[in-house]
Amino acid sequence: MAFDFSRSEAGAYLDASGAQQAAAVNVPRFDHSAEGVPLGFLVTPGSDLGRQDRTSIDPLILPEALVEGTSADEREATVFHSFIPAGSTTGVIERRALYTRSAKALIDQLIGQSGHHLELGVLSGFRENLGGYVRFRGEIWNLTGLLTEKANGAALVNTPADDAKPIIVAGAEVV
């Protein structure tokens, strides 16, 4: 994946042999277990308020309609994200599928979460909901709540509309 990356300080990680290394400022870390098993792209909070590792994907790697589509239907996408959350003591991989109409903003938010990021992908359109999950590449991906824009564009809400609750207020980047 093509992305911009920055980090204000050096960061520790384990290399493929399980040896501890220090990644220089602004160098991403691809972490491994002590046994050398790949754990993915490592993102951690820094010493300053906020996150240390900052990433932003290049929108040119996404299908053009997802970035520049003039209608909401054109921008509909299913984003797939597998990761091991920060602080996990079990190392269990979480697989999530999320519906969005702003793939770049959502991906930027997901990849900024602390933890080990193993896979991140996007498909045009909303993948079929099979009862709270979708299937993709032989795996089950748990769906989060479907997000839709309110008519006035002021916020995002969970659907169905009967029990909709605001999630993100106006001015937020993720839509």
What are the pLDDT tens digits along the chain (175 aa)?
Answer: 577 888 888 889 999 999 999 999 989 999 999 999 999 999 887 665 555 777 888 888 888 888 888 887 888 889 999 999 888 888 899 999 998 888 888 888 888 888 899 998 899 988 888 888 999 989 999 988 545 444 444 334 444 444 444 443 333 333 3
Do 124 and 65 touch, CB atoms closer than 8 A?
yes
What Å distances lie between residue 48 and 16, 25, 26, 112, CA to CA?
29, 14, 15, 15
Return the percentage of the chain with pLDDT > 70, whole number.
Answer: 78
pLDDT at 35: 93
Phi, then psi, of 103 in degrees rounded to 5:
-60, -45
Q: How high is the pLDDT of residue 145?
A: 56
What is the pTM (predicted TM-score) of this model? 0.75
Report which residue type is found at 96: R
